[in-house]
Structure 1
Amino acid sequence: MKSIRLSLVALACLSVYGWANSEAYTLPSISVTSDEAHALVEEEQDAANSVAVSKESIDKRVGPGATNPYKALDMLASVHTGQVDSYGLSLDQNSFRIRGLYADTFSRLALTADGVPSVVNVGQGAMGSILDMENIEAMNLTMGASKADSGFGFGNNAGSLDMRTKKASDTLGVMLKQSVGTEDFYRTFMRVDSGKISENTKLFLSASTSQADKWKGSGDTQRENVEAGLSTLLFDTVKTDILLAHNDIERNDYRALTYAQAKNLGTYYNYDFNPTLTSSAANNKYYYDFNRQHFKENLAQATFEAPLFEGTMSFKPYHIDTDGYRYAYNQSGNSVTKTEMEQEQNGFIAQYAQKIADADVKVGYWYQSIESIPPPTANKSYNIVNGKLVFSSWSMLNDVGNREIDSPFLSVKKEFDQLEVEAGIRYMRMTLGGVQSYTTTSGDVSDGEAIAHGTRISYLYADDTTLSATLPSLNFKYTLSDSIDLFAGYAKGYASPWIGPLFSIYKSNNATFRAKGISLQDIWDKFELETSDQFDVGAKIKGENWMIVPTLYHVVYNDKQVTAYDPAVNLTYYQNNAKAEANGFELSATYELSRSFELFSAFSYNQLKFTDNLTTTGGATLAISGNQVPDAPKILAKVGTTYKQNGFYVSPALKYVDKRYGDIQNIESIPSYYTVDVETGYVTKNFYGFKEALFSVSLQNLLDKKYIAIIKNDLDDTGTGGTSYYTGAPFTAVASITLKF
């Protein structure tokens, strides 16, 4: 910590010295189209549930870790983010809800980069965003179901987030950013732009290294990243952009609290995994280094665009692979489970766009294949002997088929004087790969070798099954006057089912299922795509120095996957048989007091509830109809200011999160909380030979509030006593220097 404090002091001194001895650089003047509240800077709003986020807002809100895109959205209406640490270097122990619905890339959120599906977070692996946020130029968030020609992923019921990458610059340039902070945090980022190598060719290369100690308990997080981008022109007509990225992340997990512990933060706020091994075998599974993970990821994607006939043809192929493992304590018994994940994802998006009869017409096709989706291919169980992990057995060994998606789409957009209409339709066909489980006497070898010497389990087998849905969308924008735009829209969304937990239930209770003549295939064939019907109406009203954006929405979720009772086997397990309903109101506003001073705010009321009761084991009724789903605050309120003058800026922001529940019965109540963050800095040009210099300080949770940041209830249906709670990070301070030359 001493070195960190010295670095903070040194950076502060440099900031003051630079301010006094350099040419001041005036930041761009504030505009009422600032995106802090409803993000309308770089592109016009084209739908009631669409929000654009500018580069300025990303840099200001993404946080010092600069890798978690969700953090850059937490001042928007209806967005609830939670982090177990302030740096957010990986995403799996961070939460993200949109309009109350849990947004996970494995099921409900389409996370894309330049329209191309990005990494999927599976099995709580430490797979964060593979892209450094310094390389993101802008983002667009769609809250809820997307238009037909966007939102490509395993689901978009919660929404879709598209990140637009920063392409190589036309001019030679170097950017160097160094950050240091509390908990021995440091991060070094460097990007080099070649400028034009030839008339049509340019490239960039970036690299970063990040590390932070856990703020409680023992262990840390380390992340290494390398990215490259090439822009060129092929055959004199084909505009080409290629993006490559490699990510390596290793970290120790944080330990969850029970509800009883979460209600007593005075005692359990710093509760975590054990820092040392003990003489107790039962306690040693909670040793911090037996609860860690390490993953490596690679991404390659390209965009080829060329004129064809009287339109434009684009083709976007992509490849993502992930390889790593996760150690975690076993809930039952004194052992540790190692889950190995090796995953490869390939696909493409082809699209043709042309103007026909004064209408913009797009027709396209999305294909994707991804391997080794849960259930996990390999779970190994280890006993703890003399403080070391000793291989015991294969707790799970599966050969899992690929999950494939075929999705053609059509979109038509036309203007009628003041009215703009966009209609689209997309067909979604998803094939869930089959599964074959094995037993093996092999030791601690690779899963491929274990399967090769294994024996098939005949009753733990299921063949492929296919799910499908037709997804229409319709949006209207009416320009009532120069200061008022009206919006209305409808879209049908979808979400993929969770397969792994259901497989585990069948595996553990196979004798009960088989006695009733129910095979794994019977369970497999009952999977459905969860769909949603979403309606939005809204307006954008602006004056000379102010703007307000009110929005109303209504959503019905069909075939929602929940843990439900099956009287045939007297068990509860995942089934697509529930309905839920969401209603809400959002209001975002900005007010420019002067060219230097701006206020921004966002308020939302989100009600997300099940519309039917559930049946528990034994046939009892669980009266949950009308209850708010877990971890979904009804009220979110955010307010902040930005002051800019002669290169200096300061932006404090307050965020209020309403009371939440940890269980579906709304018994485990978690109180409301608020946090205050402050971002401040100074920008100057011509700083000792550098083209531009930025000195900044980020203060997170300034008042050092103790609160529950994350309620781990992914399917929104966990009963009383089954939820995990994670505390939010304490006060965190980070200082950064960014140099451009």
Structure 2
Amino acid sequence: MHRDRSLLLLLCPALTLIPGAASAETQLPVIEVTAAPTPSVAPLAEQDYSASHVDRNGLATLGGAAQANPYRALDLMPSVNLSGLDAYGLSVDQNFMRVRGISAYSYSNLAVTVNGTPSSVSTGRGGVGNLFDLENLEGVTLWRGPQPANVGFGLGNLAGSLNLNILAPTAEPGVRTRVAVGGDDFHKLFARLDTGTFNGGSRLFLSGSTAESDQWRGPGDQSRDTVNAGFTQTLGERGGLELYAAHNRFHRDEYRPLTYAQSQDLGTYGDLGYNAELTGVATQDANYYAYNTQHFEEDNLLARLHWDLSETLRLRFNPYWLSSEGQRRVGKTNTVTVVDIDQEQYGATAELVAQIAPDQSLTFGYWSHRVTSMPPPMSQKVYSLDKQGRPVFSKWGILSDMGARAYESPYFQLQGEQGRWRYSLGLRYLSFRLPGITSYDGTGLPDVSHDAALDLNPAVKSSLSTEATTLTAWLPTLSTRFALTPSLDLKGAYGRTVGNPWMGPLYSVYMSNQKAFQKAGITLQTLWDDLALETSDTVELGLQWRRGDLMLTPTLFYSQLRDKQVTAYDPTVGVSYLQSGVEATAYGAELEASWGIDAHWTLVGSLSWNINRLNDDIRTAGSAVLETDGNQVPDAPEWLAKLGVEYRAGNWSLTPIARYVGRRYGDAANQESVDAYATVDLSAAYRVGRVGALQSLEVDLSLINLFDADYIGTIDVGQDDARPGSIDYYPGTPRTLALSLSANF
């Protein structure tokens, strides 16, 4: 076991500390439902960009039995190709997702915010887990393509923006508990206490959870322990304050990737995992499961303060702070690399919102963000393996120091309505200051911590050190909607989004080939100064048609992407390394649909056609070229189709969800083809109303991959220029059964 259960043992007695919390008698009126229920996944209301929202009901179904990973809730949205390594979403890497064919890495291309604040950005594989239980969320929203200027605060929003809305403390006291169990020894315990309103305007909630499951292939497990808290306070008649906090601890033993050849023979290799025992053979023991693992602890605080300066002028201020500390271990060839990560993020957004006319508002805002310790790692140590398979310290791979990356971004957003016309216009300026890096000679240093090694005054390696550099971009955006008829709207949008360049691989290649770069007269500073922000200019045109409870939203889009990073050969150096400058073109069509047929049947689905192609060939050696011009980027299916059907009858509900993912390629040359696949998940629920002090009771049964399909779910390609033979493939999870019981007091 890699964590203790003390947080729940401490939380459960607290449930009795609030008088009446477990015995509140709130008589609810009897409501006869005659209309179709609201779809749980639908276009975001009052929004003319391509944005979809998942409500609490959708989170409960799509989030799975673990209710730990918000990315799983996006799966029915158009143009979202989502895969995971385990059946429950406990794997903390959120990076195996593409939106409109664009890789949605949260530390470069996907802006992730909590209540609008970028307080949970993952800056590498691991480093930041999913900090809030889905039981504590009101909903999630994903923007695809263009976004308003006051959305998308993160290290990049090229693939979109994901916002998590926390379920605020409730007005009435209550207790919610949930227990879930499933295959592969999965179990989760969750409890939340709401105090209700006290002291005339204060509300508080406190929750705790613990979850764990074994690997479904190979040895090892993954676990997560989380404490969430929220406090709200009214400030007279004009203002309000919200405070939210999270403490998270997770452990994860990695799943073993397959080669392309192995991925084509799942009958033989579908259950292949890391080694359960040490063998004494170094090349084998590098694949020992305990040498391929990660564990982190993290703390998060965020606040929302709003104050009405007048009837038409409101001030908002949202500060946040995040700390994450942990370690990753990676076995390779005959060594184990240990990366220690200690990172901190903090910042704030401030907005002044003015109602300048009855149907027009103007927002002026500013975002400031700091983050320390991102790739390249500041501490990397290499261990050899002895004859018993035990790691023995060999050398420092990387020993460096780096200041904080700084993001400064003023913006404005104007929106309004005039008759049948609705519009918005915005502009954001982004300044990204990449600090200098100071590298040290770790030769002869002992196996100590990063700070202890620096205290030994190692020599500075000037050839691997840089000065700061600054990257900037203007990000305009606009949207418009015109009501052609009472049931048909025409909408359009334009916007520029941005992606952060990868620095870690660039640093590593330079470190390994210093002599060749220096002979060519190229310094690391030169490469640092040549870094560029990837940008995408996107135009959208769509319709929204409503007839009763049927809504169809078709959208066409076209994107031009510039300054993509690819690993290209430089003849002056004789080395391939990350360089900016390649262009790509993306275009396609989306259909988002929902239909409340009657009080019993609801349909939600989407259909997507996505083309995302590189516009250039890539030189890989002196006379060799990787023919990528016109090829689909890796892990980007052209076709996606999803359909969810919910049937309700009395206390029962039944929800099958079907997904089709078209053919993909693992590499940029489109040589490693991955077959299309289809899966079906099924969930059933039985809900009981008030029984004494019990307000409600719900039993849920879920079957993941109902027909036990064999398929490749995850393709880990890294960059869009992935070469044949360099890609990791992961099988999709087999059929898995889970059962949960929820009670509200």
User: TM-score, normalised on structure 2?
Assistant: 0.93
Q: 1:34: which partner in 2? A: 39
**How far is 1:31 from its partner?**
3.6
Q: Does 1:679 align with 2:683?
A: yes
* Structure 2 residue 442 is the aligned partner of structure 1 residue 437: no
Structure 2 partner of 1:20: none
623 and 587 in structure 1: CA distance in 2 versus 1, 3 angstrom threshold: same
Secondary structure (helix, strand or coil) at the match of 1:420 reads strand
Quick one: which amino acid aligns to residue 464 of structure 1?
Answer: A
What does 1:685-704 correspond to in 2, within 5 Å? 685-687=689-691, 689-704=693-708
Q: Could you say what secondary structure the match of 2:68 adopts?
A: coil
Q: State the shift of 1:540 in Å.
A: 1.2
Please name the residue that 1:268 is paired with.
269
Letter in 2 for 1:313: L
1-structure distance, mates of 2:101, 2:184: 32
Superimposed CA distance per residue, residues 32-88 of structure 1 (whole angstroms, 9 cap, x where no aligned partner): 75143xx14xx5241241112211111111111211111001011111110110111
Q: Deviations over 1:9-31 (max 9, x none)?
A: xxxxxxxxxxxxxx999996664
Aligned equivalents of 1:594 and 1:683: distance in 2?
Answer: 20
Q: What is the match of residue 530 of structure 1? A: 534
- Cα offsets for 1:620-647 (capped at 9, x unmatched): 3322111100000000011231100112
| Structure 1 residue 236 displacement after superposition | 5.9
Residue type at the aligned position of 1:338: V
Query: Are 2:114 and 2:120, in contact at CA under 8 Å, matched by a contact in 1?
Result: no
What letter matches 2:349 in structure 1?
I
Note the C-alpha offset of 1:415: 1.2
- Separation of aligned partners in 1, 2:120 and 2:338: 21
In structure 2, the residue matched to 1:208 is 209
Encode CA deviations 1:440-470: one digit per residue, 9 max, x unaligned: 3221211011122211111111011000000
Q: CA deviation at 1:601?
A: 2.2
Structure 2 residue identity aligned to 1:413: Q
Q: Following the alignment from structure 2 to structure 1, what is the Cα–Cα distance between the partners of residues 492 and 476? A: 15
Q: Structure 1 185/245 Cα, relative in aligned 2: closer, same or farther at 3 Å?
A: same
Moved more, 615-624 or 211-220: 615-624
* Counterpart-to-counterpart distance in 2, 1:341 and 1:538: 45
* Bigger Cα displacement from structure 2, 43-52 vs 55-64: 43-52
**One of 492, 508, 520 as aligned partner of 2:524:** 520
The match for 2:414 among 397, 412, 415 is 412
- Tell me how far apart the structure 1 counterparts of residues 355 and 693 of structure 2 sit (CA, whole Å): 49
Q: Is 1:582 the equivalent of 2:586?
A: yes
Q: Is the 1:633–1:659 Cα contact (8 Å) retained in structure 2? A: yes
**Closer, same or farther in 2 for the Cα pair 1:450/1:29, shift >3 Å?**
farther
Residue 596 of structure 2 corresponds to which residue in structure 1? Answer: 592
Which residue of structure 1 lines up, in the alignment, with residue 20 of structure 2? none
Q: Which residue in the other structure is 2:453 paired with?
A: 450
Measure, in 1, the Cα distance between the counterparts of 2:417 and 2:147.
Answer: 20
Partners of 2:540 and 2:142 in 1: how far apart? 15
Q: Deviations over 1:370-407 (max 9, x none)?
A: 00111100001112222322222111111122110000
The 3-state SS of whatever aligns with 2:96 is strand
**Cross-structure match for 2:323:** 321
- How far is the alpha carbon of 1:565 from its aligned partner? 2.1
Taking a change above 3 Å as real, the CA distance of residues 305 and 677 of structure 1, as seen in their structure-2 partners, is same
- Partner AA of 1:294 in structure 2: H
Structure 1 length as normaliser, TM-score?
0.94
**Which residue does 1:277 correspond to in 2?**
278
Pairwise CA RMSD? 1.7
Q: Are the aligned partners of 2:119 and 2:320 in contact in 1 as well (CA < 8 Å)? A: no
**1:352 corresponding residue in structure 2:** 352
Q: SS at the partner of 1:376? A: coil
1:472 aligns with 2:476: yes
Does the aligned pair in 1 maintain the 2:381–2:395 contact within 8 Å?
yes
Q: Give the total of aligned pairs.
A: 713
Q: Aligned with 2:440: secondary structure?
A: strand
Q: Secondary structure at the match of 2:460?
A: strand
Q: Greater CA deviation, 188-197 or 588-597?
A: 588-597
CA distance in 2, matches of 1:689, 1:284: 56
Once the two structures are TM-superposed, the CA of residue 590 in structure 1 deviates from its matched residue by 2.5
Structure 1 CA distance for aligned equivalents of residues 569 and 632 of structure 2: 21
Measure the CA separation in 2 of the matches of 1:598 and 1:170. 30
Amino acid corresponding to residue 39 of structure 2 in structure 1? S
1:215-254 deviation digits (Å, cap 9, x = unpaired)? 0110101110001100003466431000000000011100
* 1:556 and 2:557 correspond: no
CA distance in 1, matches of 2:436, 2:574: 26
Q: Check whether the contact 2:170–2:194 (CA below 8 A) recurs between aligned residues.
A: yes
Contact 1:529 1:559 in 2 (8 A): yes
SS of the residue 2:267 aligns to? helix
Q: Is the 8 A contact 1:375 1:400 kept in 2?
A: no
Change in CA separation of 1:701 and 1:646 when aligned onto 2, cut-off 3 Å: same
Q: Secondary structure at the match of 2:413?
A: strand
Match of 2:18 in 1: none
Q: Corresponding residue for 2:383? A: 382
Secondary structure in 2 matching 1:523:
helix
Indicate if the aligned counterparts of 2:633 and 2:668 stay in contact, CA closer than 8 A. yes
1:392 aligns with 2:397: no
State the 4+ residue runs in structure 1 displaced beyond 4 angstroms.
23-30
Q: Secondary structure at the match of 1:289?
A: helix
CA distance in 1, matches of 2:63, 2:110: 19
- After superposition, give the CA deviation of every residue in 1:96-153 in whole Å (9 maximum; x if it has no partner): 1111111011000001011000322233126321111111101111012321111100
Mapping of residues 647-666 of structure 1, within 5 Å: 647-666=651-670
Q: Establish whether residue 90 from structure 1 lines up as the match of residue 94 from structure 2.
A: no
Cα separation, partners in 2 of 1:35 and 1:93, compared to 1, 3 Å: closer
Query: Counterpart of 2:343 in structure 1: which amino acid?
Result: Q
Q: Tell whether the 8 Å contact from 2:539 to 2:557 is kept in structure 1 after alignment.
A: yes
CA distance in 1, matches of 2:165, 2:35: 23
Secondary structure of the residue aligned to 1:506 is helix
* Residue aligned with 2:465, SS: strand
Amino acid at match of 2:173: L
8 Å CA contact 1:401–1:434 kept in 2: the answer is: yes
| Range 508-517 or range 439-448, more displaced | 439-448
Q: Which moved more, 1:229-238 or 1:404-413?
A: 229-238
User: For 1:687 and 1:126, how far apart are their aligned partners in 2?
Assistant: 44
Moved more, 358-367 or 498-507: 358-367
Further displaced range: 438-447 or 499-508: 438-447
Looking at structure 1, the residues matched to 531 and 403 of structure 2 have their Cα atoms a distance apart, in angstroms, of: 16
Q: SS at the partner of 2:632?
A: coil
Query: Which of 717, 723, 732 is residue 721 of structure 2 equivalent to?
Result: 717
Offset of residue 599 of structure 1 = 2.6
Deviates more, 1:315-324 or 1:122-131: 122-131
Distance in 2, matches of 1:166 and 1:231, equals: 11
Structure-2 change in CA distance of 1:167 and 1:272 (3 Å): same
Q: 1:364 — aligned with what? A: 365
Task: Tell me: CA distance 1:429–1:29, structure 2 relative to 1, closer, same or farther (3 Å).
Answer: farther
Structure 1 residue matching 2:527: 3-state secondary structure: helix
Letter in 1 for 2:134: M
1:402 has 2:404 as partner? yes
Instruction: Please state how far the C-alpha of 1:548 moved relative to its aligned partner.
Output: 1.0
**Corresponding residue of 2:179:** 178
- 1:12 corresponds in structure 2 to none
Moved more, 431-440 or 204-213: 431-440
- Match of 1:60, SS state, is helix
